[in-house]
Structure 1
Amino acid sequence: MWDVVIGVVAALALAWLTLVAALLISRPRGGLLREAIRILPDTLRLIRRLAADGSLPRGVRVRLGLLLAYLALPFDLIPDFIPVLGYADDAIVVAAVLRGVARRAGRDAVRAHWPGSDEGFAALCRLTGLSR
């Protein structure tokens, strides 16, 4: 019995460490993480607007819906009480999903739904790799 419990706990710990490592690998480099955190409120509104746009491909809307569900969960991969990383994990996940979504949806669709400033959109373009 204890072997099973220890095995399950070890497997969960390994899965968690793998997810944290994936977050660290996919995080934006340089000052982009700081920019991602700064534009996070506008980015969340963008995600909601893009997810509601029926003209976008279904795969894009599904990814955005799953991202919104992840953000709504009451727990995180890295708890928020851990300084810096606790809040950065949400920004990293949002940035990673947005890279693929923005490239698939296109710059024009993202710009049409962007609720923030031009400087914020420029930061989003740098973060997602969209050409300005």
Structure 2
Amino acid sequence: MCGKRGIIILQKLKQIAKQLKSNLIVLYLSYRDPRVNWYAKWFTLCVVAYAFSPIDFIPDFIPVLGYVDDLIIVPLGIVLALKMIPSDVIEENKIKAQKIQGKPKNWFTATLFILVWVLLAFWIASYVYNKFS
């Protein structure tokens, strides 16, 4: 009985996360808006880049913990980013987002995000090498 209830709760959480993720296009458009503060732009950029990235902090194959980023980290980032951006910018970009099909392509952001991951991997590898050699 508890297992079935847990599955229902997980499905509801996934549905809420999916609704929040629909705001990613709105956030993408908002971070490019000049009316948004610099700190909100940077935070929003990080949230959007992480959400669109195929790389997760916690891989999905790890039982239970693998869904933490999809169910908690990304939706929490989306909610916080939406609160940082002025409501008139959000409303304007919701209208624009309805006209956009698919994910936006921003090669600069993709390159920046990949560079961060490569640097992080290099740092970890050098730390491990120095620690154990």
After TM superposition, the score normalised by the length of structure 1 is 0.49
After TM superposition, the score normalised by the length of structure 2 is 0.49
